[in-house]
Homo-oligomer: A and B are copies of this chain.
Amino acid sequence: MHPAALAARRVVVIGGVAGGASCAARLRRLTETAEITLFERGANVSFANCGLPYYVGGVITDESKLLVANAAKFKSWFNVDVRERTEVVAIDRQARTITARELPTGREYSAPFDALVLAPGAQAIRPPLPGIDLPGIFQMKTIPDSNAVRSFIEANGVRRAVVVGAGFIGLEMVENLVHRGVEVTLLEAGSQVMPPLDPEMAQAVSAVLASKGVKVVLGDGVAGFEQGPGGKGMMVRTSGGKTYDADMAMLVIGVRPDTALAKTAGLELGARGGIRVDEHMRTSDPVIYAVGDAVESKDWVTGEWGLCPLAGPANRQGRIAADNIAGRDSKFRGTQGTAVVGLFGLTIASTGANEKTLKRLGRPYVKVYTHANNHAGYYPGASTIDFKLLFDPKDGLILGCQATGTEGVDKRVDVVAALMQLRGSVFDLEEAELCYAPQYGSAKDVLNLAGMVAANHLRGDHPIVSWDDLPRVKEEVAAGTAVLVDVREPSEVARGTVEGALNYPLSSLRARLHELPKGKRCYVFCQVGLRGYNATRQLLLAGRDAVNISGGWRSALQAGVVSSTL
């Protein structure tokens, strides 16, 4: 028990959304004697900021639905003194007081604390670009933000919008603007949409955007805004010199931890710009805690400190800070970055590390791709889940996964997240005993299949490469040491294949094996990987050198190494 904890009679919490609100409520359940005061500079504690895009889109129709709790409930349930529209402007660490300013009146007063919790959240990044203050340029972080966008759309009959930033909020804004009948251009400075995904997995996202008529511009950032001709609308200028006309623009290029107070108070920050905390959520001052989007947290998959502005971890951190203030030795185990977003019926989810990160860290990994049905193919309505699994080449420890599809995507990623939490391996995934009835899954679920592919690879039964390796493969082919073998049926091959690939359908491979040139490595592929695996086994057992290209033709299209002829 930390000595400071015992004396925590007066606890001040700064910020009342996810982490701060959870902290205050949990703390009250651990002590009836502490005075708990919660300062919130906005008009509402505990509002559902993850719902804002849907409120703009009119999917959530009632603003009051966004208010998860309010000051009265905090008082009656938890005896927490909530002060809304009140900003804490200074912390005096020596005196252990804060200075609060009532925003409507400007009145300032100080309040003492024995323990302080910083939960200021993050702020939408709003770079000082030319024209940034023109009307019609919005961010999406608070209820007032969402009301401003709604009003602007209605008052101005917005028909065209530019959304800047193709991350979670950017995609949600695109969906909701389209839902309102707005024509959207999505501008992303990076080379792909949805940065948490690897680029080939982001292809499905780009495809659904295109199918809804969204114009996606990659590799070009916003450089400034100008008023439109005749004072109507605006022109969004890009770094690449392009101009897009629009009636409004959403700037959703990310958030930055709100560390102003922490900085002024001399608290230690991390390299990524968030407040540095230990596993007890304690800052460099042992009576000051920090939680939520403002802090850096450790990614326990990679071991890296980073920013993880997600509601789940914020809530957990709030409860852990409360535990420690109440004298309990409670620890935050870090984050694994589990996340999901919905986009026009497509679900995009991931957990753990992506390949870009593993590459950057130089961490050894293997990747496999599968494309299996969300449920039994014989039951109507089955759809494909595109799945990427990353794991350790030595022991099969799961490092991360990414999935896209229309049904059952979040389920698969949640199961992988749970296995990862207990340091599960691809062998565990292979054997997982999951729900099966024809509407829900398959006797060999998506996850079992991915686990099998990975486990078969690790056991040496199933050599694989990915389409990234195609340039090298083509060199081997050119050098006469390898052949590419498409084992699909001719009718499938006719719709597109890799130039120079031989066609030996699996169904007749055994009979025609003698035709295949000997002494050359066979790079085998099919549509999704299954027939390729069976062909690879046949070839290996016949003494040939064979390698399957993971995920087959469907992965080739996603990887963009070939383009469908149909």
Whether A443 and B311, one on each chain, are in contact in the complex, defined by CB atoms closer than 8 angstroms, is yes
A435, closest chain B residue (CB): B340
Whether A434 and B417, one on each chain, are in contact in the complex, defined by CB atoms closer than 8 angstroms, is yes
Chain B residues within 8 Å of A311, by CB: 436, 443
Looking at A151-159, A182-190, A472-480, A502-510, the stretch in contact with chain B turns out to be A502-510
Looking at A192-200, A210-218, A406-414, A493-501, the stretch in contact with chain B turns out to be A406-414
For residue A252, give the distance in angstroms from its CB to the closest CB of chain B.
15
User: Which residues 68-82 in A have Cβ within 8 Å of B in the complex?
Assistant: 68, 73, 76-79
User: Which residues 421-437 in A have Cβ within 8 Å of B in the complex?
Assistant: 421-424, 428, 431-437
> How does the 8 Å CB contact mask read for A498-532 relative to B, with 1 for contact and 0 for none?
00000000111010000000000000000000010
Whether A376 and B48, one on each chain, are in contact in the complex, defined by CB atoms closer than 8 angstroms, is yes
Most buried by B among A60, A313, A418: A418
Whether A438 and B77, one on each chain, are in contact in the complex, defined by CB atoms closer than 8 angstroms, is no
Looking at A275-283, A360-368, A387-395, A537-545, the stretch in contact with chain B turns out to be A537-545
Whether B312 and A79, one on each chain, are in contact in the complex, defined by CB atoms closer than 8 angstroms, is no
A20 located at the interface, meaning its Cβ lies under 8 Å from any Cβ of chain B in the complex = no
A18 located at the interface, meaning its Cβ lies under 8 Å from any Cβ of chain B in the complex = yes
For residue A112, give the distance in angstroms from its CB to the closest CB of chain B.
23
With the chains together, A437 CA to B168 CA distance in Å? 10
Q: Which of B54, B78, B411 contacts A438 (CB 8 A)?
A: B54
Chain B residues within 8 Å of A30, by CB: 461, 537, 541
A351 located at the interface, meaning its Cβ lies under 8 Å from any Cβ of chain B in the complex = yes
Whether A333 and B431, one on each chain, are in contact in the complex, defined by CB atoms closer than 8 angstroms, is yes
Whether A29 and B438, one on each chain, are in contact in the complex, defined by CB atoms closer than 8 angstroms, is no
Whether B508 and A76, one on each chain, are in contact in the complex, defined by CB atoms closer than 8 angstroms, is yes
A32, closest chain B residue (CB): B541
Q: Which of B77, B378, B431 contacts A534 (CB 8 A)?
A: B77
Chain B residues within 8 Å of A550, by CB: none
With the chains together, A310 CA to B437 CA distance in Å? 10
Whether A434 and B312, one on each chain, are in contact in the complex, defined by CB atoms closer than 8 angstroms, is yes
Chain B residues within 8 Å of A417, by CB: 415, 432-435
With the chains together, A432 CA to B377 CA distance in Å? 31
Given contacts A378-B60, A422-B428, A432-B418, are A437 and B32 in contact (CB under 8 A)?
no
This protein's copies in its complex: 2
> How does the 8 Å CB contact mask read for A16-33 relative to B, with 1 for contact and 0 for none?
001000000000111110
For residue A327, give the distance in angstroms from its CB to the closest CB of chain B.
13
Given contacts A411-B411, A419-B418, A461-B29, are A506 and B77 in contact (CB under 8 A)?
yes
Chain B residues within 8 Å of A510, by CB: 76, 79
A314 located at the interface, meaning its Cβ lies under 8 Å from any Cβ of chain B in the complex = yes
Whether B379 and A436, one on each chain, are in contact in the complex, defined by CB atoms closer than 8 angstroms, is no
A305 located at the interface, meaning its Cβ lies under 8 Å from any Cβ of chain B in the complex = no
Whether A32 and B542, one on each chain, are in contact in the complex, defined by CB atoms closer than 8 angstroms, is yes
Interface size class of A (residues with CB under 8 A): 35 or more
A248 located at the interface, meaning its Cβ lies under 8 Å from any Cβ of chain B in the complex = no
Whether A534 and B439, one on each chain, are in contact in the complex, defined by CB atoms closer than 8 angstroms, is no
For residue A331, give the distance in angstroms from its CB to the closest CB of chain B.
10
Q: Which of B315, B379, B531 contacts A443 (CB 8 A)?
A: B315
A234 located at the interface, meaning its Cβ lies under 8 Å from any Cβ of chain B in the complex = no
Q: Which of B77, B411, B439, B461 contacts A414 (CB 8 A)?
A: B411
Given contacts A349-B435, A432-B418, A435-B340, are A443 and B376 in contact (CB under 8 A)?
no
With the chains together, A351 CA to B435 CA distance in Å? 8
Given contacts A54-B379, A77-B506, A411-B410, are A342 and B440 in contact (CB under 8 A)?
yes
A334, closest chain B residue (CB): B433
Given contacts A54-B438, A438-B50, A444-B315, are A421 and B411 in contact (CB under 8 A)?
no
Chain B residues within 8 Å of A351, by CB: 433, 435
A507, closest chain B residue (CB): B76
A65 located at the interface, meaning its Cβ lies under 8 Å from any Cβ of chain B in the complex = yes
For residue A64, give the distance in angstroms from its CB to the closest CB of chain B.
9
With the chains together, A469 CA to B263 CA distance in Å? 55
Q: Which of B51, B312, B439 contacts A433 (CB 8 A)?
A: B312
Q: Which of B376, B410, B440, B533 contacts A435 (CB 8 A)?
A: B410
With the chains together, A464 CA to B514 CA distance in Å? 71
Whether A435 and B339, one on each chain, are in contact in the complex, defined by CB atoms closer than 8 angstroms, is yes
Most buried by B among A73, A424, A433: A433
Whether A51 and B438, one on each chain, are in contact in the complex, defined by CB atoms closer than 8 angstroms, is yes
Name 28 interchain pairs, CB-CB below 8 A, sorted by A: A29-B461, A30-B541, A48-B376, A51-B438, A59-B379, A65-B377, A66-B378, A76-B506, A76-B508, A76-B510, A79-B510, A311-B443, A312-B433, A312-B436, A312-B443, A313-B433, A338-B434, A339-B436, A341-B437, A351-B433, A411-B411, A415-B417, A415-B418, A417-B432, A418-B428, A421-B428, A421-B432, A422-B423
Report the 10 A-B pairs with minimum CB-CB distance, sorted nearest first: A340-B435, A311-B443, A422-B422, A411-B411, A32-B541, A76-B507, A29-B537, A65-B378, A410-B435, A418-B418
Known: A314-B443, A316-B431, A417-B432. 10 other contacts (CB 8 A): A29-B533, A50-B376, A76-B507, A77-B507, A311-B443, A411-B411, A414-B434, A414-B435, A415-B417, A421-B424
